[in-house]
C-alpha cells in the first residue's frame, strides 16, 4: 500500500479526541497517512470546536457549504483522498486501544474490503437508550467469526477499510439522501461483483447511543428511505433482499397492508411505550417497522 487515507464525515459532533488518538497512532505506522475530515454543514459551534484539528500535521479539513447527506459526503471523501487505501470511520466512535490502525495496515494488502466491527461499553447503557443498546448488542455487535458467517449482511460503514478504485467504481448512491441504507446498497453491489468483505476483530466504541425516542425517529426515517430504495432500478437487487420489504410485498399481495396499517395506528402508542421501556421487545420493534411501512 502506498499510504492510508483515514476519512471521517462529521455532523454536529466533537471529534477532537478521536482525531488526536488517530493522529498519534498514524505517526507511528511508518507509512504515509492523512486524516481527511469533511464537515457536513454542522452548527457554527461544532465547526469552531473542530477547526483546531486543522493544525495537526496529518489533518486535511473540509467544510461543506450545505448539508449534502451521508452518501454524498462519503463520495466526496473518496475523491479528496490521495491514497489508494481508504479507512472510513463514523464521527461518533472512539478508539478501543492504540493498535487500531496497525491491525488494519497488517491486512490491507491482502483484502479489498475489511470490516472491523464496533462495540459498546457497559457503562454507556441506561434506561433512556435501552432500545438501541438491546438491538445492537443482540443483533449487530458480533465478533469477526460470527460476522464472517454472513459477511455482507454483517457489514456497515461505521468502521471499514476499502480500496479507493473499488469505491470509485461503486460509489454510495446519492439518491439515498435520507437516513439509512446507503451502506446496504454498497454491500449489495460488492456482493454482486464478487468482491469479498473480510471481517476482523478490530472494533471501535460506538460512543453515541441514541435515546429511545430518537432511535424510533431514525427508524421511521430509515423505513421511509427504504421506499426510495424499492423504487430505484439500480437498487432492485437490494430491495429484493430486504427482509422487511419481502414481508411487506407478501402482505400486499394478500391485500392485507390496509388492515396492518389500521392495526398499527391502533397499537402504535402501546408499542412505542414498550420500546421506550426498560424491557423493549425486539419482536415488537420488527412489527413497528412493518406497521409503519404499511402506513406510508
Report pLDDT for 225.
86
Instruction: Say which DSSP state 247 is in.
Output: H
Task: Collapse the DSSP code of 84 into the 3-class scheme (helix H, G, I; strand E, B; otherwise coil) and give the result.
Answer: coil
Tell me if 2 sits within 8 A of 33, measured CB to CB: no
Q: Are residues 289 and 148 in the same domain?
A: no
Report pLDDT for 239.
83
Q: Are residues 244 and 118 in the same domain?
A: no
Q: Mean of the per-residue pLDDT values for the chain? A: 95
Q: Are residues 57 and 164 in the same domain?
A: yes
Q: Are residues 197 and 236 in the same domain?
A: no
Report pLDDT for 175.
85
Return the H-helix or E-strand segment holding 163.
strand 159-163
Mean pLDDT of 136-141: 94
Mean pLDDT of 15-44: 97
Structural domain harbouring 283: 213-295
Mean pLDDT of 18-22: 98
Mean pLDDT of 194-212: 96
Report pLDDT for 136.
96
pLDDT (tens digit per residue) in 268-291: 999 999 999 999 999 999 999 999
Mean pLDDT of 34-61: 97
Tell me if 67 sits within 8 A of 36, measured CB to CB: no
Q: Model confidence at 54, in pLDDT bands (50, 70, 90)?
A: very high
Q: Are residues 173 and 30 in the same domain?
A: yes
Q: Are residues 120 and 261 in the same domain?
A: no
Residue 177 pLDDT > 80:
no
Q: How far apart are CA 234 and CA 200, in angstroms?
A: 30
Q: How far apart are CA 206 and CA 173, in angstroms?
A: 24
- Report the percentage of the chain scoring pLDDT > 90: 88
Last residue within a domain, chosen from 176, 209, 242: 209
Q: Are residues 105 and 252 in the same domain?
A: no
Between 34-43, 58-67, 195-204, 231-240, the lowest mean confidence (pLDDT) is in 231-240
Residue 124 pLDDT > 80:
yes
Q: Are residues 271 and 149 in the same domain?
A: no
Q: Are residues 169 and 223 in the same domain?
A: no
Return the H-helix or E-strand segment holding 167.
helix 164-169
Last residue within a domain, chosen from 166, 189, 209: 209
Report pLDDT for 228.
84
CB contact set of 237 (below 8 Å; sequence gap of 6+): 188, 192
Between 54-58, 188-192, 216-220, 234-238, the lowest mean confidence (pLDDT) is in 234-238
pLDDT (tens digit per residue) in 80-94: 999 999 999 999 999
Q: CB neighbours (10 Å) of residue 259? A: 12
The grid coordinates listed for 92 are 461518533
Between 133-142, 204-213, 228-237, 247-256, the lowest mean confidence (pLDDT) is in 228-237
Last residue within a domain, chosen from 185, 209, 233: 209
Q: What is the CATH number of the domain that holds 22?
A: 3.90.550.10
Between 143-157, 166-180, 207-221, 276-290, the lowest mean confidence (pLDDT) is in 166-180
pLDDT (tens digit per residue) in 225-255: 888 888 888 788 888 888 999 999 999 999 9
Q: How many domains does the chain contain in total? A: 2
Mean pLDDT of 21-35: 97
Q: Are residues 75 and 147 in the same domain?
A: yes
Q: Are residues 203 and 69 in the same domain?
A: yes
Q: Are residues 274 and 139 in the same domain?
A: no
Question: Residue with C-alpha cell 478508539?
Answer: 95
Amino acid at each position: 500500500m502506498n499510504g492510508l487515507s483515514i476519512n471521517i464525515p462529521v455532523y454536529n459532533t466533537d471529534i477532537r479526541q478521536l482525531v488526536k488518538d488517530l493522529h498519534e497512532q498514524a505517526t507511528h505506522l511508518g507509512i504515509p497517512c492523512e486524516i481527511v475530515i469533511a464537515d457536513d454543514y454542522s452548527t457554527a459551534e461544532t465547526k469552531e470546536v473542530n477547526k483546531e484539528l486543522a493544525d495537526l500535521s496529518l489533518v486535511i479539513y473540509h467544510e461543506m457549504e450545505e448539508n449534502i447527506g451521508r452518501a454524498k459526503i462519503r463520495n466526496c471523501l473518496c475523491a479528496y483522498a490521495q491514497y489508494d487505501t481508504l479507512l472510513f470511520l463514523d464521527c461518533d466512535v472512539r478508539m478501543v486501544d492504540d493498535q487500531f490502525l496497525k491491525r488494519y495496515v497488517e491486512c490491507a494488502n491482502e483484502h479489498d474490503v475489511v470490516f472491523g466491527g464496533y462495540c459498546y461499553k457497559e457503562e454507556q447503557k441506561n434506561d433512556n437508550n435501552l432500545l438501541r443498546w438491546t438491538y445492537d448488542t443482540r443483533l449487530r455487535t458480533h465478533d469477526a467469526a460470527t460476522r464472517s458467517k454472513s459477511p455482507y449482511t454483517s457489514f456497515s460503514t461505521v468502521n471499514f477499510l476499502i480500496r479507493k478504485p473499488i469505491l470509485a467504481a461503486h460509489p454510495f448512491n446519492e439518491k439515498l439522501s435520507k437516513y439509512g441504507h446507503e451502506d446496504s446498497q454498497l454491500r449489495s453491489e460488492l456482493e454482486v461483483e464478487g468482491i469479498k468483505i473480510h471481517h476482523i476483530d478490530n472494533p471501535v466504541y460506538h460512543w453515541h447511543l441514541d435515546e429511545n425516542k430518537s432511535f424510533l425517529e431514525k427508524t421511521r426515517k430509515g423505513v421511509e428511505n427504504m421506499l426510495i430504495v424499492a423504487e430505484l432500478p439500480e437498487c432492485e437487487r437490494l430491495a429484493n433482499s430486504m427482509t422487511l420489504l419481502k414481508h411487506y410485498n407478501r402482505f400486499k399481495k394478500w391485500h392485507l397492508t390496509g388492515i396492518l396499517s389500521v392495526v398499527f395506528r391502533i397499537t402504535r402508542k402501546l408499542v412505542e411505550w414498550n420500546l421506550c421501556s426498560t424491557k423493549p421487545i425486539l419482536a415488537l420493534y420488527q412489527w413497528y417497522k412493518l406497521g409503519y411501512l404499511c402506513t406510508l
